[in-house]
Amino acid sequence: MSTHIARPIAAEVLRELRAGDDAGRAPSPFTDTEGGAPLRCCLRRSRPGERIALVSYAPLRRWAAGTGAEPGAYDEQGPVFVHAQECTGPGNGGLAFTETHRVLRRYSADGRILGGQLVRTPEGFTEGLHNAFDDPAVALVHVRAVEYGCFLYEVGRP
């Protein structure tokens, strides 16, 4: 079986988002007093006392711009937490945020949704990714939170 790699938001995109997000707003950094926010820059939970920002991000739009795809109505933007300043990025390059229910949303090369799968366990998460990429029409998978539908990160073909 192939290994799937989580793709955090790219460093150059993070620099842009920290200056102005995909909704055209300037970020409002704050000190996270509780910790636990899912950071899309380094794919870990925030720690109490870290400076973070909630920014609007359009993951499919950004991906489509680099591939020439036209996602049409599937284009969306939503909130993501990032460090307020540049960080070191993910430590291990592996899958993240697999400890709870997630949705794996499949996309074609032209940016259309091909379906999704609810996964409930880390094992189901890995199996779900393998199932998704067994379909040759699947170009990428978005990992999303169940409770809010928020984008967590992208997984591409292994």
Residue 117 belongs to some domain of the structure: yes
Q: Are 124 and 66 found together in one domain?
A: no
Count structural domains, the chain: 2
Q: Are 54 and 114 found together in one domain?
A: no
User: Residue 39 has what pLDDT?
Assistant: 96
Q: Are 79 and 54 in contact (CB under 8 A)?
A: yes
Residue 115 belongs to some domain of the structure: yes
Q: Which residues of 83-92 are buried (b: 16+ CB within 10 A; e: fewer)?
A: bbeebeebee
Cα distance between residue 63 and residue 7, in whole Å: 12
User: Residue 99 has what pLDDT?
Assistant: 87
At residue 18, what are phi and psi to the nearest 5 degrees? -70, -20
What pTM value is reported for the model?
0.91
Which of residues 83, 113, 139 is at a domain's end? 83
The amino acid occupying position 90 is P
Q: Are 23 and 60 found together in one domain?
A: yes
User: Residue 1 has what pLDDT?
Assistant: 44
Structural domain containing residue 37:
10-83
Model confidence band, residue 88 (pLDDT cutoffs 50, 70, 90): confident
Cα distance between residue 46 and residue 29, in whole Å: 13
Residue 2 belongs to some domain of the structure: no
Q: Are 108 and 77 found together in one domain?
A: no
Name the residue among 33, 17, 35, 19 with its Cα closest to residue 151: 17
Q: Are 67 and 130 found together in one domain?
A: no
Model confidence band, residue 2 (pLDDT cutoffs 50, 70, 90): low
- Measured CA distances, 14 to 47, 59, 80, 153 (Å): 19, 12, 11, 13
